[in-house]
Amino acid sequence: MDLVTVAAYDLVPEAHLAKNLLEAEGIPAFLTEEVASDMLHLTSEVKLQVADEHAEQARAILEAAKRHELAREAAADAETHAKGVLPEGDADV
């Protein structure tokens, strides 16, 4: 089985979330360089890998999740602005 890197993350928890998402969709996923990044506090990226035959589907799932997160953040920002509420630290002193 040939593994393909479908994403890379600076943060180990973020990599685990993506791995869990793929596995919930039935795609076995693996993380590389996790120990070096987490335990040794090195700056290496944690790579998320899947079997070659699942790579395209995995990328599509990850991209859809990313778009959903961005859409949710944009909606929250729009709602905040519509109410005229300023985020903490933005108020005039």
Please return the burial class of 49, using the count of CB atoms within 10 Å of its CB with bins 0-12, 13-18 and 19+.
Answer: buried
- Neighbouring residues of 62: CB distance < 8 A, sequence distance ≥ 6: 6, 7, 18, 21, 22, 48
User: For position 19, what pLDDT does the model report?
Assistant: 94
Please state which architecture CATH assigns to domain 3-82: 2-Layer Sandwich (3.30)
pTM as predicted: 0.68
Q: How far is CA 72 from the centre of its chain?
A: 14
Residue 2 reports pLDDT greater than 80: yes
Highest-confidence segment of 7-11, 40-44, 66-70: 7-11
What is the chain's percent helix, strand, coil content, to nearest 5?
Answer: 55, 20, 30
- Per-domain boundaries in the chain: 3-82
